[in-house]
Structure 1
């Protein structure tokens, strides 16, 4: 679930920057997009306020995130954690919204439904080791943590971060921090890129004091229970250590890194001089769903290449979902591997084709457009927990596939897609149309007004989208109600795999049969919890009945007394 790196905005010849997506970021079930004119859009699941729209409603297609005060703000970077989001403005300010239980928004308090300014960051930077004013250059997020890199190359972390702890065994623990904290281990060097999973961090750091292009060294630290640090063992690390395969003496130059929940992917090419520009993808960590692409379901504690990727291709982007990995080449070829044919879907998803099952080696994702199997002018690929988004056509077209629940694919639907589907971009909303009007010339504006702005088809689609939003809002209320009930009974929120199979396969649900099936398959601990829950519920019902009966008797007595008087 990776996010934006440093973004350089350069408009295409004759292109409209309002329509051009320069980078995207994917969270557990939501997606962010940044346009060339500096605006942020979001779609997908709205729970905890991760979309920044002011509500917890889902959005089935891209909507613009509003910032207050918005005047003069232009954004240059976005990042998405599991349930929270970050946006970086061109003045170096960081805005955060969504889930905040671990302080990943960098502020004390509850979850935020709208973007809030991380005000203390500049104050913290006023005492840094240089007289150069502190300015954040890029933001990242993953799991329950947030990260930023400033113009001095210093890495900052906040949220649920892996930090050194004297109280924990082995000196490692995850510590909730509401305040951005610098990582001083790289003093005298510059952190250029960083990625993080649920509990681990991987950083690409310069060998010297400045960045020279091919001198990056790979460091990792945090939880290592599956070998996701690539250090050859499964011991946790509280401080950054060099991944020796990518040290300063390596023949490979590292240029991209991504982290899944418990695995890591790295892109390298041979250091110059080299006769060709082909690159390689290396993976390590948890492999039980084939997310390493090594042809097995074994985990790996040291980096190994994904051998079945074609030779002589140059990979421009890589990202990891919870249990799947995707890469895209400069030629427009996309490969994925991992859970459920590389889609990242749960094993009980509705994908029941003859080739269903985890992909332990790369599978090519074919474009179903008019230009054949390749995606035109690819820019970036990102993975959410169980969905994938590709920026193509130099940023003017978005594709998505995988889990569609809550509208995370941005195509106006909530169904899973096993092949690429087109994201509804640019969005057909009045806000977007106003931005379009503000960017065209006077002649174009007159023509726009004469043509009444939009076609009948667009108006009909806008109306359908609004109706869908209303239905989705009602669905969100029902989901929350179901979560509360399920949490009360079973001690955890309702998840997709908890939905009874009979209800998934048809609209008819035999609650009696499902209840018997659930009791039959439940372990003793769950049965004990159920027994306690229903005992308490029964006691509560009896108490309420008794109170109401007493109230009725009192009323009857009072009524009888009044009548006698």
Structure 2
């Protein structure tokens, strides 16, 4: 039951709970609890919550009996003030009441009338004066509606991997649903009985996302469900350095010979096995490390870079003052803002080039362009751009970008994959194998792929997850990184090929010559190079694994990977962080393991406060 009226420009949702579970009389109420209200027994307890139209609680609002000749007052003087979460409780004797609702400043928000009589349930007499969009439901009915819809995705507590957030809801009733994202209205959609709908697709916001879904059935009964997700790459690894984002703070560790840790200093081949919070950058929401360079996005959508810059991969428009020799550089290479980039939502490094996806779906790039990996229509041996350039020829609905040794790739919302740059190992996925110097300077669509939801790449191989849970791989295969079987050093595969025996996959990950897949049951499969224990099997043999196998022993429920060249990290659903693989220069992040060449099983990492 609802009515609409605009009072004080507010949209209120006024939920009433009569009795303790539904519309009923609280005859057995505890006298001490009621005494707090100055009331006696044999009265009807009415409780509920007060929120605005966005679902936010209205605290410190008062509910009181109006002085009106039209109301037969029986001596009750019920009064309640809403709590910090908008909850309230009234206890009334027999009679009819006009209840006024006022905000903390005494301004009238609305009124309603109700009746209470001995041995009868309370009843609403008049709701014509309620404010815009009112719901009067029992707790039992609200729970019933809540049980009839389920948010299938995104999962509560998940980390979003692409610039797309489709909302999938399953319902056993006909519902009209309203969606809020971080208190911002994202519109309505209808879900039919037994229907699985994804008609609402939201663009995730950088950092934390609170998604609220309010659903109402045909009888006007409403319920709300809330999920929390995070958009941004919180863990990343390069050649031998690593980083992790916690509450806007960036922690780094490992090798620092090019200042890639972001501390602002570099002393020769400095090693820092201790996880250290940076004071040189704040409000970080996403990072991308590779080789000896680092990139980050802050919560305002700006891009910051630091580390090696020999071919302009920091995007600063110059080289001399940033790429001085480590012996005479002194304090250098703290994170610096890349000029000319705003509204960034994703930033990654290849080996010596960077790709940045912006909120409007466009992509910019900077760094090495020796085989056209910047995608701006130019390229050739020794060429580079130290300032961001636009990638040309991509559709406007790009949701993910990745970079390899000298190739780049993009995924669109429509499920298509585009690749450009190096094709020496069949990287382009078009059935041909190019030469080491051949230039592909604009994106080319991989025509044999469709329905792709997530992509990943290593040095020169690529993975694509299809919407049916299968995975395709192509490119360099010498270490078994394609997962399609073989022995020795297989030849490159220039056409996307189904990975052997892999089903129900929800995400794919790669770097170097190793590959990983997370399945929908929380298990993980891995394949490729393993000589440094980088697959986490507990062994360094076999050195190559050609088909997906059980890896990362000893941990469960991995939801996100950070893959380096030979060392890796995983964030568990519990929020715990683990690392394993090659520990060169302290890249795993445990000072007590400094003399350990490699960790063949996952090691728990503690993040200092």
Contact 1:341 1:363 in 2 (8 A): no
1:200 CA displacement: 0.3
Q: Which has the larger radius of gyration?
A: 2
- Match of 1:399? 578
Contact 2:354 2:365 in 1 (8 A): yes
Contact 1:324 1:342 in 2 (8 A): no
1:327 CA displacement: 1.9
Equivalent residue in structure 2 for 1:79, among 279, 288, 294 = 288
1:143 CA displacement: 0.3
Contact 2:372 2:420 in 1 (8 A): no
- Match of 2:307? 98
1:196 CA displacement: 0.8
Describe the SS at the equivalent of 1:238: coil
- Match of 2:359? 151
1:120 CA displacement: 2.0
Equivalent residue in structure 1 for 2:390, among 182, 187, 193 = 182
- Match of 1:25? 236
Describe the SS at the equivalent of 2:340: helix
Q: Quick check: 1:336 aligned with 2:526? A: yes
1:40 CA displacement: 1.1
Contact 1:231 1:302 in 2 (8 A): yes
C-alpha separation between the residues in 2 aligned to 1:31 and 1:164? 28
Q: Quick check: 1:424 aligned with 2:597? A: no
C-alpha separation between the residues in 1 aligned to 2:518 and 2:273? 25
C-alpha separation between the residues in 1 aligned to 2:412 and 2:460? 22
1:241 CA displacement: 0.8
Q: Quick check: 1:221 aligned with 2:450? A: no
1:74 CA displacement: 1.4
1:164 CA displacement: 5.2
Residues 363-384 of structure 1, C-alpha deviations (whole Å, 9 max, x = no match): 2114325xxxxx13x2211221
Equivalent residue in structure 1 for 2:506, among 315, 318, 323 = 315
Number of aligned residue pairs: give it. Answer: 364
- Match of 2:455? 257
Q: 1:200 to 1:47 in 2, by over 3 A?
A: same
Q: Quick check: 1:364 aligned with 2:555? A: no
TM value normalised by structure 2: 0.55
C-alpha separation between the residues in 2 aligned to 1:105 and 1:198? 16
C-alpha separation between the residues in 2 aligned to 1:84 and 1:171? 21
Contact 2:258 2:292 in 1 (8 A): yes
Larger RCO (alpha carbons 8 Å, 6+ apart): 1
Equivalent residue in structure 2 for 1:34, among 229, 245, 264 = 245
- Structure that is richer in strand per residue: 2
Describe the SS at the equivalent of 1:143: coil
- Match of 1:128? none
Q: Quick check: 1:58 aligned with 2:271? A: yes
Aligned pairs (5 A) from 1:379-418: 379-394=559-574, 396-412=575-591, 413-414=593-594, 415-418=596-599
Residues 143-171 of structure 1, C-alpha deviations (whole Å, 9 max, x = no match): 01111111211100001135659xxxx97
Q: 1:344 to 1:365 in 2, by over 3 A?
A: closer
Q: Quick check: 1:267 aligned with 2:480? A: no
C-alpha separation between the residues in 1 aligned to 2:516 and 2:391? 29
1:423 CA displacement: 3.8
Q: 1:424 to 1:163 in 2, by over 3 A?
A: same
1:33 CA displacement: 1.0
C-alpha separation between the residues in 1 aligned to 2:240 and 2:500? 30
1:113 CA displacement: 4.2
- Match of 1:449? none
- Structure that is richer in helix per residue: 1
Contact 1:97 1:113 in 2 (8 A): no
1:121 CA displacement: 1.3
Aligned pairs (5 A) from 1:444-483: none
Residues 190-242 of structure 1, C-alpha deviations (whole Å, 9 max, x = no match): 32111110100111134xxxxxxxx1211111110111221110134221111
Describe the SS at the equivalent of 1:79: strand
Q: 1:389 to 1:300 in 2, by over 3 A?
A: same
Contact 1:162 1:200 in 2 (8 A): no
Equivalent residue in structure 2 for 1:138, among 328, 338, 346 = 346
Q: 1:243 to 1:172 in 2, by over 3 A?
A: farther
1:86 CA displacement: 0.7
C-alpha separation between the residues in 1 aligned to 2:452 and 2:606? 33
- Match of 1:116? 335
Equivalent residue in structure 2 for 1:281, among 458, 467, 471 = 471
C-alpha separation between the residues in 2 aligned to 1:231 and 1:162? 20
> Mind listing any 5+ residue stretches in structure 2 that lack a counterpart?
1-159, 164-205, 212-227, 324-330
TM value normalised by structure 1: 0.59
Q: 1:22 to 1:298 in 2, by over 3 A?
A: closer
- Match of 2:491? 298
C-alpha separation between the residues in 2 aligned to 1:341 and 1:46? 24
C-alpha separation between the residues in 2 aligned to 1:301 and 1:102? 28
C-alpha separation between the residues in 2 aligned to 1:308 and 1:323? 20
Q: 1:202 to 1:308 in 2, by over 3 A?
A: same
1:356 CA displacement: 2.9
Q: 1:331 to 1:393 in 2, by over 3 A?
A: same
Q: 1:410 to 1:332 in 2, by over 3 A?
A: farther
